[in-house]
Amino acid sequence: MSIVFLVTAGDYSDYRLIACFTTNRKAQAFIDAVDDKHVEFNDIEVRELNPDTVNMLSNGYSIWLIQMLKNGNTERAEKLDCNVYNAVCERQTMWRRSTAPAYIGKNIPDIMMFNIWAKDKTSAVKIANEKRAQMIANNEWDKK
């Protein structure tokens, strides 16, 4: 499985791919080096090159959305429809609710959102929890 690291900016109709790298370090170095006051970069996105979607589906896997707090509590676990957006690859995205205008001052913690291939909800939550623990061990959870 080959992974690429995408530097993107914008959202919705303004969303765009800026650059693609073979390592997270190179993607972050690019962001750090580019001084463009007109662009606010998104978090680095991790994508699988040549995803194995057809094989996963034929072997009984589904894509699950798991939203998990730093303490391991699961706020949401939902089997997603198989569409181009959801079934391309596994991904994880930090939702910094603590800094989102709608949540400021409401003491609502940040949450990690995982899209995970799994055969059932229990397995999906377990996989997300393992990824959460690894992020905490690597000091990645609180990294802005």
What tokens were used for 115?
Answer: 């899209």
Q: What is the pLDDT of residues 19-72, one digit of tens each?
A: 999 999 999 999 999 877 788 888 898 888 887 888 888 899 999 999 999 999
SS3 83: coil
H-assigned helices in 37-138? 53-58, 121-137
Q: State CA 114 to chain mean position distance.
A: 6
pTM comes to: 0.66
- How much is the pLDDT for 81? 84
Where do the structural domains in the chain lie, given as residue ranges? 1-50, 51-144
Q: How far apart are CA 89 and CA 53, in angstroms?
A: 7
Distance, CA of 132 to CA of 124 (rounded, Å): 12
Alpha-carbon gap, residue 116 to 103, rounded angstroms: 26
